[in-house]
Structures are given as structure tokens and as C-alpha cells.
Chains A and B, each alone.
Chain A
């Protein structure tokens, strides 16, 4: 691990001021960044510890929820209002990592965790455009079982690893950020980006911007929501495919739906096309499968992950059928 300076931020303004120093990074629970530093994939010269920033979870004036970015993953998953109003978010969090890691990891850090592509981690042994721009990508012709089928580019086929973020994409969350230049809020869908020609850039945050809070809108449909993760072992593994979904059925017709996919792209994938095909239809497997087919029609699988198209298709239909069954 390369040497670095460490300082604990006193408050948000102190944190963003300290982060102006070249080579500095914010440090949350450390569950991803410390590992990447040990592998010399990340080499910050200064760490600004932001675990002491606001971690409260509370109702907003409009009936939504505000979650301080320093809240630990476990605190979010166990919160009574999240369990009852946004169950897909609790379920997504407890589907990820292990209990020890969820006790350490912060919400802000979860949003900014980096891909677990093995070639990204293999510093010195493999080529990776995300780690070393312009170097090439060894995943495209390598072991790409876990890689993207949607929105990838010739320079990067990595996927975003977070489960929590898939739920947040489906929930139309917003992200509050702050820097020395001021505060702003951006839709969750605009936080992460597709790789294009700049796979080294994961998000649309400006340098020095700190995530201070997550904002969940009041969303009654989210009470009927869940998260399903399909992986190579039944616990403590990253997703092959995951589905976050919410469904509202009135008098035999789907009045509203939210659908997002994990394990398929460089960012949590909101399935807008499928949602549009589901609204107004009866909650039947054929409807769900047709919507999944439409969403996945743009998929470009790699030799090792062709199975993900059928797996995503079936998982989408199974999760939506489950939610429909609960409201029958």
C-alpha cells in the first residue's frame, strides 16, 4: 500500500475543504477502497475519513426518507420505515456482501464502490482500460461470465457490483452532493454512467464532490416491492443477475411498475422500456416475458455470459409474477 495522509473530517464543510488537496479521496467504511489500495489499484495520497458525517435516517416533509450518507448498510436495511415502505431496499442490502461488511460499509461508499471485474483488480497481470486508460481490456476475450450484456463499450465490459444501487435505481431516488462550490441534488439515474470511451470514470460527480445524503421519494407502490438476486452460490457472492421490482395491480390491471436490473451493465439498469410495456396490462407471465424480451433486445452478450439474457428474462418474469400473486 502506498503511503498516504489520514484525517478525520469534522463536518461536511471540513471534508470538502480537505478533499481539495490533489490525490485525496473520501474514506467511508473502507471495505472496497482499502482493498483496492492494498492491490495498488488505487493510490490516494490523502484519505479524508467521512464516517463521522450525518448518518441519520428520517422522514422528509413530503413523506419520503432522507438517509445520511454515513449511515451503515445494516442501519438502512434494519430501519422500520425502510422495511415497510421500501422493502426492496432492505432486501437488496441484505442480499449483498456479508453481515460484517454491511456493518462497516456506508451508504455513500456503497454508491461509489468500484467494479469487481477480476482484470480491473489484477494490477500488473492484466490489461484494463478502467485502471490504465488506453491499455486495452482483457475481459472481452477472457473469463467474462460476470460481465455486462447491456450498455458496454469496446473499451469496458465491467458491471456495477452494488445490490443496493439496483433498488435505488428502481425507487427514483436522488443523491445530495456538496463541494466547496456548493450543494446540489441529482437524480440517482444520473449518478452512474456507461463506460463509453472513458471507462476510468464511474460517475458524473465532479472532483471533490461528497455524497451527503440519499433521498427516497414518497412512493406507495414501493410497499409492494422486492429484490431477487441470482448468483453462483446462495450467499455472499456477487450477482449474475438481480432484479428490483415494484408492482401495483388494481382490478386485474397493472397500474404502475418499477423495474431495475443488476449484474447486466456498468450502471444499475432501469428497465424503462419493459415498464412501459407492462403498465395497463394484466399481470400475466406472457406480459412480463414480452416486456423482458423488449428490454433485453439490445443485449450484446460475450462468449461467457450469453446465459444472462435468458436468466434475466426468467428472473424478471418470476419476480413480477411473485409480486402479482401477492396482490391477487
Chain B
């Protein structure tokens, strides 16, 4: 019973009660992923599972056996920060920083959903093969990540700049 976290294969816990979030933070000592509400309401615990954004607090770690998890710690390379991480710094996309790892993982998953053509609540034409990352689409698609500091303007700017090829 193993799981890949940021490219490293690790054992899953024996106790099935351990959430993916607690596995990351408490067992693997990867505290980048944050525990906000621990009930699926804030998005601070967002990670990527095989590239799809999920909430690690509502995920039992055992359910993700054999899957590849990417946390904020896995985004930078030897070349430097992920472009979205750099853009968050450039645009002041945070104040306290607690929601930031979740915002960044969420936005990376969001960009993939948009490239795939997944519709959102504000998508006017459901039949459209390509959906542009307008201001409204971006805000709707990131609404599962709360920021209590109110750094939304910087967050939106950082995401729009990083994924400029998706912006109309």
C-alpha cells in the first residue's frame, strides 16, 4: 500500500482514519498544505491528485493508494519557483499566506480544467469547445479557495498573468 507524493513513493498508514492532509502534514512532515476548516469549506488543503485538484482534508489517505499527489512543495524545480509561485510574489497574492498553497495548487488544476473545456457556473455557452479565462470565469472557478485577508486582487492578477494563454 503506497502512494507517490511529489515523486517519492511512501507507505500508506495502517489506520484508515488518517486523512490525506494529515498524512502529508503529520506523517510526511510536508506542512505546506494547510489545515484550515478541516471540513471542506475553505480550500486551504487543496492538492493535486494525478493533476486534478482535490481537498486533502476530506480524502482518506487509503483511498489514494497508487495515486500521484503533488503538493506546493513539489511545484518548484532546480530551475526555480513554479511560474505561478513567482507571480504570487510579484503581485502580492497574499497577506498572511495561509491560503496560498491551496490557492496555487487549485489554480494549476483549474488551468487544466479550462484547457479541457470543463464548464463552470458562469459559462454562458455550454456547447462552446473553448472557454476563455475571463475575470468572471477565474473568480468563479477559484471560489472554492477562501482568503480571509482579502488578497483576491493580487491572486487574480497572478493567475491571469501565469495562464495568459487562456485569457481572452
Contact = CB atoms under 8 A, between A and B. Distances in A.
Interface of A: 1, 3-6, 8, 27, 29-31, 34-35, 38, 47, 49, 51, 74, 77-78, 83-84, 87, 90-91, 94-95, 97-101, 103-104, 235-236
Nearest to A75: B118
Nearest to B140: A235
A98 B43 contact: yes
21 contacts: A3-B15, A3-B17, A5-B16, A6-B62, A29-B58, A30-B60, A34-B58, A35-B40, A47-B16, A77-B119, A78-B118, A84-B127, A90-B126, A91-B126, A99-B110, A99-B144, A100-B106, A100-B144, A101-B58, A103-B52, A104-B59
Given A6-B60, A47-B16, A104 B54 contact: yes
Nearest to B39: A35
Interface in B124-161: 126-127, 139-141, 143-145
B39 A100 contact: no
B72 interface: no
In this complex, which of A8, A90, A99, A101 has the most chain B Cβ atoms within 10 angstroms of its Cβ?
Answer: A99
B34 interface: no
Contact of A100 (B46, B62, B140): B46
A100 B54 contact: yes
What is the interface residue range for chain B against chain A?
Answer: 35 or more
Interface in B14-72: 15-17, 19, 38-40, 43, 46, 52-55, 58-60, 62-63, 65
A8 B64 CA distance: 11
A94 B140 CA distance: 10
A249 B141 CA distance: 34
A39 to B, nearest CB: 8
Given A78-B118, A90-B119, A95-B121, A30 B59 contact: yes
Of all A-B residue pairs in the complex, the 4 with the closest CB atoms, nearest first, are A98-B144, A6-B16, A235-B143, A83-B126
A3 B18 CA distance: 11
B16 A100 contact: no
B93 interface: no
Contacts of A77: 118-119
A98 to B, nearest CB: 2
A98 B32 CA distance: 21
Given A74-B118, A77-B118, A34 B43 contact: no
A84 B126 contact: yes
B116 A78 contact: yes
A1 B40 CA distance: 16
Interface in B82-140: 106, 109-110, 113, 116-121, 123, 126-127, 139-140
Contact of A34 (B19, B52, B106, B110): B19
A97 B143 CA distance: 9
Contacts of B15: 3
Given A30-B60, A47-B16, A74-B118, A99 B141 contact: yes
A221 to B, nearest CB: 16
Given A6-B16, A49-B63, A31 B126 contact: no
Given A31-B40, A47-B60, 10 more contacts: A5-B16, A27-B63, A30-B63, A51-B63, A78-B118, A83-B126, A98-B143, A99-B141, A100-B43, A100-B54
Contacts of B39: 35, 38
In this complex, which of B59, B106, B117 has the most chain A Cβ atoms within 10 angstroms of its Cβ?
Answer: B59
Given A4-B16, A103-B52, A104-B58, A94 B121 contact: yes
A10 to B, nearest CB: 14
Contacts of B110: 99
B144 to A, nearest CB: 2
Contact of B120 (A3, A27, A30, A94): A94
